[in-house]
Amino acid sequence: MKLILKIIKIFPPEASHKIALFLLKVLHKLKILNFLFPIDKKNNFEYLNLSFKNRLGTAAGLDKNGDYIDSLGALGFGFLEVGTVTPLPQKGNPKPRVFRLFDEQAVINRLGFNNKGVDYLVKNLKKRKYNGVVGVNIGANKTSEAQQRTNDYLICFDKVAEYSDYITINISSPNTPGLRNLHEDKHIKNLIDSLEQRVIELNFIKPIFIKISPDEPYEVIKSTAEYIKNSSLTGLIISNTTTNREMLKNSKYKDFQGGLSGSPLMERSTSLLKKINEEFPELPIIGVGGVMNKLDFDNKLASGASLVQIYTGFIINGPQIVSDILN
What are the residue numbers of the active site? 173
Give, in order, the Cα–Cα distances in Å from 37 to each of 3, 24, 131, 134. Answer: 15, 11, 19, 21
- For the residues of 91-138, what is the DSSP string, one character each? --SPSP-EEEEGGGTEEEE---S-BS-HHHHHHHHHH----SEEEEEE
141 in Cβ contact with 117 (< 8 Å): no
CA end-to-end span of the chain, whole Å?
19
237 in Cβ contact with 265 (< 8 Å): no
Cα–Cα dist 57/185, whole Å:
30
Provide the pairing of β-strand 98-101 with 106-109.
Answer: antiparallel
Class of residue 56 by CB neighbours under 10 A (exposed 0-12, middle 13-18, buried 19+):
buried
In this structure, what DSSP letter does residue 232 have?
Answer: S
- For the residues of 160-207, what is the DSSP string, one character each? HGGG-SEEEEE---TTSTTGGGGGSHHHHHHHHHHHHHHHHHHT--S-
116 in Cβ contact with 89 (< 8 Å): yes
What is the three-class DSSP state of 266?
Answer: helix
What is the three-class DSSP state of 52?
Answer: strand
